[in-house]
Amino acid sequence: MDWTPGYREFAPGVAWREEIHCLWVSVITPGTSLTRVLPDACTDLIWQSGAGAFVAGPDTRPAPDTRPPGTVLVGARFRPGAGGAALGVPLSELLDQRVEAADLPAVPGGRLPGSLAPAEALRRVARIAAEMVTERPPDRLVLDAARLLGRPGARADLVADRLGLGERQLRRRCQAAVGYGPRMLTRVLRFRRFLARVQVAGNADLAGLAAETGYADQAHLTRESTRLAGLPPAALVRSRR
């Protein structure tokens, strides 16, 4: 395992890939004073060296994060729709929050003390996340809804019809399993599509990327980027680069 400064993601075991998006490691780089965590519709179980375990709830806005250089973070990221059941709490209660694992009875935070070696912490986080999604499986309809809402042009009412649900029922189930309703989920997933395309396209035309990823126009992209990331798209691209 590479423990040099930086951020890395790893695929979970095949048996849990529908519930767990990835495992990840972050070693805070010297000279880094601020990390801007952006909404992704996911929820994370995180271990921090010297501190222990906590949960990052679903975000609706950028979450500034400042930690000393050399701090090691290890995490398991639950897919949209899987976090609520795994954590044993409606995710609407964790919206835009960071919560100590000890405050969530379904999370065995006692198995993740801050004194662990990082490699052992990664093994335990992976094992615990797998146990959580096995013992408390997600709402499959919400997982399907998140997959459908992540497509360009998706509409919450059409997705509800396709799944055989009323819009109110879909909204209630999304709020419990994701943290917010299908319309907000659509906005976040569309923004993540834009970020993924920027990563590949580099200095591509923003107006073209806006259309490609499902925005009405570049002005629409600018409004959403400012709301969800705290920066207009051009500035966001520069900051991530």
Q: pLDDT of 19-31, one tens digit each?
A: 999 999 999 988 7
Q: So what's the pLDDT on residue 30?
A: 84
Residue 46: per-residue pLDDT: 98
In angstroms, the CA 121 to CA 53 distance is 10
In which residue ranges of the chain is pLDDT below 50? none
Q: Which CATH number is 140-240 given? A: 1.10.10.60
Q: Scanning the structure block, which residue is given the tokens 């801007």?
A: 36
The contacts of residue 135 (CB under 8 Å, 6+ apart) are: none
Q: How far apart are CA 125 and CA 179, in angstroms?
A: 22
Helix (H) / strand (E) element for 74: namely: strand 72-78
pLDDT tens for residues 117-163? 999 999 999 999 999 999 999 999 999 999 999 998 899 999 999 99
Domain ranges for the chain, please list them. Answer: 6-135, 140-240
Distance separating alpha carbons of residues 77 and 22, to the nearest angstrom: 5
Provide the pLDDT for residue 202.
66
Q: What is the pTM of this model?
A: 0.94
